[in-house]
Structure 1
Amino acid sequence: MNRMPVYFLSHGGGPWPYVDDMRQQFAKTEQEFIALPGRLPAKPEAILVITGHWEEKDFTVSTAERPPMVYDYYGFPEHTYHIKYPAPGSLKLASRVLALLSNAGIAAKEDARRGFDHGTFVPITLMYPNADVPVVMLSMKSNYDPHQHIRVGQALTPLRDEGILIIGSGLTYHNMRGFGRDESTPIADAFENYLSEAVKQNNAEVRNDMLAKWETAPGARLAHPHEDHLIPLMVIAGAAGEDKGRSMFVDHVMKVPMATYEFGYGK
């Protein structure tokens, strides 16, 4: 099987595909997520998601056979708290992830109750609406150490040759007070430009060093006061190995860019 590319997806705001006004705003993102499976060399055996909505003291792998839903958003219409995405989990993949991390000397735990948050179910619902691809989640570590997360990605690289699609789900800009404000646009643009420049580096060591030093980028802490939505990119950069990355597309919503990056180019 051909090696799978890896992706960092800017997943947008809350359950946006299920809210008409928001869905119109994210029309470009919706189109791109729907088309993404066509970029892959084959349908994945399973998907591993590192989501910006799950952090633990230690790296943790979801082991639920039938993952429940996690409605981790507020103030949305009532029907968005009844969304179901019935994709199965995969004990096989979860065990493989735990083994790869263990072999790399990285401590990890299991969670048999963790469900799909919107950073997980929103993009994957659009990609695989029939919920016919198993999904496993890997938490971030709550210290947000970029180097540790890059190392985790490096440990997971073999999955790409085993038919597993690895996705990091977050946002390139995540300042809740800044969305929709004119003054946020140049800040978000400058920070995304830094990330894009890092991602496209030919040398993986240079790329990973730039990402690890993200706080030195223009507007870094204004773009990410809390870096939960950025750290999944570190895992993806590690999993990319020597593969060069690129900006697959940028959507502009609420006056800020939301970029999605691809490593190991798809079709």
Structure 2
Amino acid sequence: MDWPGWENLAAHLEGLAVTLPRKPSGIVIMSGHWETPIPTVTTAEHPALIYDYYGFPEHTYALKYPAPGSPTLASHAQALLQKKGIACQGDAARGFDHGVFIPFLLAFPDADIPVVELSMSASLDAAQELRVGQALEPLRDNNILIVATGMSYHNLRQFMSGGTQTDHTSVQFDTWLRNTIELPPQERNQRLLAWETAPGARICHPREEHLLPLMFAAGAAGNDPGTCTYNDTVMGKALSGFRFG
């Protein structure tokens, strides 16, 4: 792949698998590209890909990522959500959006780990995503990797304009986010739920769908600490990635 300006992120993703203690038995992932009224999991054995992007080179619409789904893992996830009183459902027709297959093409290129995608709430409720993550924390005891994809900065108008007027703001928000993730878990979660009070929050996230998967991951982390494992400046904007446990 050609990743002009994003080489450091690509290298980070390519080196991710070797940092894990063992190969995951399965993956549950929430991306910033699927919203539903209630939490929904993919249940297909062989999910297709959804090319939910526009104006990219022709070859990007021929990418393949034939990772299997897992109806069993999807059923387990639904049972855990229901146990916590969270209504949920399965979707046998839904495929993987680019928030799944683009990073996984780099991080897990063999496409041999079963993947289940989980939607976020259409209400964009940060507390709801934290609760969903907390409900699914027990999956980690079964060697299931919990993944959240999005962006720590997602103001596409500023990205594409090439302007620099929000560069300082992106650094302010990114610094707040990194400091928050490294707090003790209870304080971390309280601050994440108040993310709109962070400096530059609504400039960096005019709409929060690319930030909320982080709440899901933080919830699933339980009492595990969080650390910043990726930090870069891309197109003048500060970006970070995080890991728990």
Q: 1:206 aligns with which of 187, 191, 194?
A: 187
Q: 1:260 aligns with which of 238, 241, 244?
A: 241
Q: 2:220 aligns with which of 239, 242, 248?
A: 239
Equivalent residues in 2 for 1:153-232, closer than 5 Å: 153-179=133-159, 180-202=162-184, 204-232=185-213
Deviations 1:132-181 (A, max 9, x none): 11111000001111111101111111111101000000000001111132
Unaligned runs of 5+ in 1: 1-17
Equivalent residue for 1:85?
65
**Structure 1 contact 88–135 (Cα < 8 Å) conserved:** yes
Equivalent residues in 2 for 1:101-112, closer than 5 Å: 101-112=81-92
**Structure 1 contact 168–235 (Cα < 8 Å) conserved:** yes
Look up the equivalent residue of 2:39 and give its one-letter code: F
The structure whose RCO (Cα within 8 Å, separation 6+) is larger is 1
Equivalent position SS for 1:177: helix
RMSD, matched Cα = 0.9
Q: 2:109 aligns with which of 126, 129, 134?
A: 129
Identity of aligned residues (%): 49
Equivalent position SS for 1:71: coil
1:58 maps onto 2:38 in alignment: yes
Q: Where has structure 1 moved over 2 Å in runs of 4 or more? A: none
Look up the equivalent residue of 2:41 and give its one-letter code: V
Deviations 1:229-250 (A, max 9, x none): 0000000110111111111011
Deviations 1:34-93 (A, max 9, x none): 111111111000111101001101110011111111111111011111111100101111
- State TM-score, norm by structure 1: 0.89
- Number of aligned residues: 243
Unaligned runs of 5+ in 2: none
Q: Separation in 1 of the partners of 2:4 and 2:141? A: 37
Q: Separation in 1 of the partners of 2:138 and 2:105? A: 25
Equivalent position SS for 1:206: helix
Equivalent residue for 2:13?
33
1:148 maps onto 2:128 in alignment: yes
Q: Separation in 2 of the partners of 1:113 and 1:192? A: 36
Q: Separation in 2 of the partners of 1:184 and 1:134? A: 39
Q: Separation in 2 of the partners of 1:257 and 1:161? A: 34
